[in-house]
Structure 1
Amino acid sequence: MSRPMPAGQSAASLAAPAPLPEAVTLAATEWFVRLQAAPHDDANADTNDTHAAWQRWHDADPRHALAWQRLVDFGAHLRTIPPLVAHNTLVRANANQGRRRVLGLIAVAGVTGAVWSASDSNTVRAWRADLSTGVGERRTVQLADGTVLALNTDSAVDMHFSQDVRRLRLVRGEIAITTGADADHGHRPFFVDTAQGSLQALGTRFAVRQHDESAAVAVQEGAVRVVPANATDAAVILTAGQGATFDATALRSRFDDVGVANAAAAWTQGMLVVHAMPLGAFLAELGRYRRGHLGCAPEIANLPMSGIYPVDDTDRVLDMLSRALPVDVQRYTRWFVRVQPGGNGSATTRRVIGGDRTHT
């Protein structure tokens, strides 16, 4: 999307030697999302009101105009996108129409030096995937062979079913699978491929998550054969209650605990189950279910969290968090939230949010 600059102004004339304030760049990002999400109908009153409000914000301060121009320039080229404020706003009307509609790829120059190439990232592959979900969305489908496939937030899967094999490729995110019997097709073997290796289901229910440098599997029923991509002779069979993290060369860690295995698939019921998880890691997990940036001050990042938390209402969890721990939840915009040290609660007694007892 492109918006005209006010008469007599240009990006060059507004250039400033110092970086723009973070609040300005974040405001520009939020306006970008709002405008892209507005119906593309000039006769729509709500759309016109949104555009008028944006114009007032744009014209109110030369820094607003500069932030907007930088964002539009980056969006036009789609070459480098700072990850701090890049929001996955791919909206899917249904499985077939959804991948055609991208509401926004947000990019603001100068917020961070870390950039990535859209052409080299999994984002493009995720847009083209056979099945996918947006941020905060969960989806369950039944495949033709009777397999039940659940996709967690911001996930994407490709499918390849032939006469001889059933194969899924986890492009991004996390899935849970209950394999179907496939009796009508001779019980074809069922595989899930990740970037680090392949999993073969042996009549089972299991969850798989794709991380940046590794993949993780947790088995709830049956068994799964794990084969790292570069170490086919190091295959391992995991049974119910077991799980592992692996890279392309070997298993890096494993567990044997039914509770841990079941907790890994609790998201299918809309829950995040954690035990003694550092607050920083907890917020990173919670942040998977909401758009924008959810950060944590390093001074409180190691506060332990335990309990059961609803993933479909992250704002509620954050509100309760500020009452249960000695922290403050600071909302700069709806897209940028940071948890800071605060005076509420006690450093030695922490009420379990979503739980039924107090931990000391």
Structure 2
Amino acid sequence: MTESVDDRQDRIDGEAAAWVIRQGGAPLTIEEQCAFAAWRAVSSDHEEAFRRASSLWSDLDVGTRQKQVTRRRQIGTGVALGVACIAVLAMQGDGGWLNLDRWRADYTTATGEIRTVSLPDGSTAQLDSHTALAIHYGTAERRIVLIDGDAWFKVAPLGATEHRPFVVEASHGTSTALGTQYMVERDSAGVRTTVTEHRVRVVTRTPDGLTHSVVVAEGQSVRYSRDGALDTPQAAPVDAMTAWRSGQLVFDNEPLSEVIARLNRYQRGRIMLMGARLRDRRVSGVFSCSDIDGAVSSITRQFALRSVSVAGLATIIY
């Protein structure tokens, strides 16, 4: 995927903000000094972003709230968002992404935590890192709301004592069990349902009020976007996709940008790629959910890259 102009600028602004914050801590090591010099030398855009981020950080450090708002407007939202995102990460004890909806969850997991919970009907849910579920069981249905993250469900089947369908709601769609085992994943782009046993009916609703429905078979997955647009079910590498349940992350020839996005779910701070040329490198490997630093080391060795950690808030791969 080609990096858009806006995405490129956001990335550079975020990297600049990370370097500014890092320089406010302990003195840079020789390796960090070299990495910083290499980053600034990439282009004049990097140099200019660092200058703006330095100016903004100075204002944030000593100015009043009104001065901060005025300054942000003057220099543009890109750098402000970069600094704000790093600051939010620093303030969160969990080290995860700020999602106020998590306050209404019945079950949550912290960053790096994988947890299995028993539901009121005898079903079980295994929650991936930084996941949140809300339980809404009634007389007509057993509804689970996936607020954030990924969860795998083993559903207590319908029978003489259980007549209510089991439904997982996420964004503008639902996944209703026609069997017993499936996984639902929610990210910034949308939702993916993967069936590990029997079948699941996925239904979405688009902003224009139209409803779309598909039955997903065992060994398949289907995605729908945040606006309810539903894709066609595809065969899925189920074992690899559910490997997190046993504490592993499995990648088979996947873009480095997607691998990094996945690794970011399992640790405090953020991993960032420096340079659009790295995004499409293909990665294959098996990594431990509990050793993300080891995964980064393995990836950097594989591609002869380097990495530098910025004050525990970010790791930059270049």
Partner of 2:218: 240
Name the aligned partner's letter for residue 255 of structure 2. P
**Alpha-carbon distance between aligned partners in 1 of 2:295 and 2:249, rounded to the nearest angstrom:** 11
Work out whether 1:320 is the aligned partner of 2:316: no
**Alpha-carbon distance between aligned partners in 1 of 2:89 and 2:153, rounded to the nearest angstrom:** 27
Q: Deviations over 1:10-39 (max 9, x none)?
A: xxxxxxxxxx97444357799xxxxxxxxx
**Alpha-carbon distance between aligned partners in 1 of 2:25 and 2:128, rounded to the nearest angstrom:** 25
Name the aligned partner's letter for residue 223 of structure 2. T
What is the CA-CA distance between 1:321 and the residue it aligns to? 2.4
Q: Deviations over 1:131-163 (max 9, x none)?
A: 112222221111121211011111111101122
Aligned counterpart for 2:230 among listed residues 244, 251, 254: 251
Work out whether 1:160 is the aligned partner of 2:112: no
| Unaligned runs of at least 5 residues, structure 2 | 1-15, 27-55, 69-79
Partner of 1:299: 277
**Alpha-carbon distance between aligned partners in 1 of 2:179 and 2:92, rounded to the nearest angstrom:** 34
Name the aligned partner's letter for residue 308 of structure 2. Q
Partner of 1:83: 85
Partner of 1:350: none
Task: Describe the shift of the 1:304–1:70 C-alpha distance in structure 2 as closer, same or farther (beyond 3 A).
Answer: farther
Partner of 1:285: 262
The answer to whether the 8 Å contact 1:88/1:134 transfers is: no
What is the CA-CA distance between 1:300 and the residue it aligns to? 2.1
TM-score, structure 2 normalization: 0.70
**Superposition pairs of residues 1-360 of structure 1, within 5 angstroms:** 22-26=18-22, 68=61, 82-87=84-89, 123-181=99-157, 183=159, 185-230=161-206, 233-247=211-225, 248-257=227-236, 260-297=237-274, 298-340=276-318
Size of the aligned set, in residue pairs, is 256
What is the CA-CA distance between 1:323 and the residue it aligns to? 2.5
**Alpha-carbon distance between aligned partners in 1 of 2:250 and 2:142, rounded to the nearest angstrom:** 31
Identity of counterpart residues, as a percentage?
Answer: 25
**Alpha-carbon distance between aligned partners in 1 of 2:25 and 2:102, rounded to the nearest angstrom:** 22
The answer to whether the 8 Å contact 2:158/2:165 transfers is: no
Larger helix percent: 2
SS state at 1:234 partner = strand
Segment of structure 1 superposing worse, 315-324 or 270-279: 315-324
CA RMSD of aligned residues (A): 3.3
Task: Describe the shift of the 1:243–1:105 C-alpha distance in structure 2 as closer, same or farther (beyond 3 A).
Answer: closer
Segment of structure 1 superposing worse, 237-246 or 131-140: 131-140
SS state at 1:306 partner = strand
| Unaligned runs of at least 5 residues, structure 1 | 1-19, 31-62, 75-79, 92-102, 107-121, 341-360
Task: Give the structure with higher Rg (CA).
Answer: 1
**Alpha-carbon distance between aligned partners in 2 of 1:104 and 1:138, rounded to the nearest angstrom:** 15
The answer to whether the 8 Å contact 1:145/1:181 transfers is: no
**Alpha-carbon distance between aligned partners in 2 of 1:72 and 1:313, rounded to the nearest angstrom:** 39
Task: Describe the shift of the 1:104–1:318 C-alpha distance in structure 2 as closer, same or farther (beyond 3 A).
Answer: closer
SS state at 2:99 partner = helix
**Alpha-carbon distance between aligned partners in 1 of 2:109 and 2:21, rounded to the nearest angstrom:** 27
What is the CA-CA distance between 1:253 and the residue it aligns to? 4.4
**Alpha-carbon distance between aligned partners in 1 of 2:184 and 2:298, rounded to the nearest angstrom:** 30
TM-score, structure 1 normalization: 0.63
Task: Describe the shift of the 1:83–1:167 C-alpha distance in structure 2 as closer, same or farther (beyond 3 A).
Answer: same
Structure of higher RCO (CA pairs closer than 8 Å, 6+ residues apart): 2
**Alpha-carbon distance between aligned partners in 1 of 2:123 and 2:23, rounded to the nearest angstrom:** 44
**Alpha-carbon distance between aligned partners in 1 of 2:175 and 2:268, rounded to the nearest angstrom:** 30
What is the CA-CA distance between 1:314 and the residue it aligns to? 0.4
What is the CA-CA distance between 1:285 and the residue it aligns to? 1.1
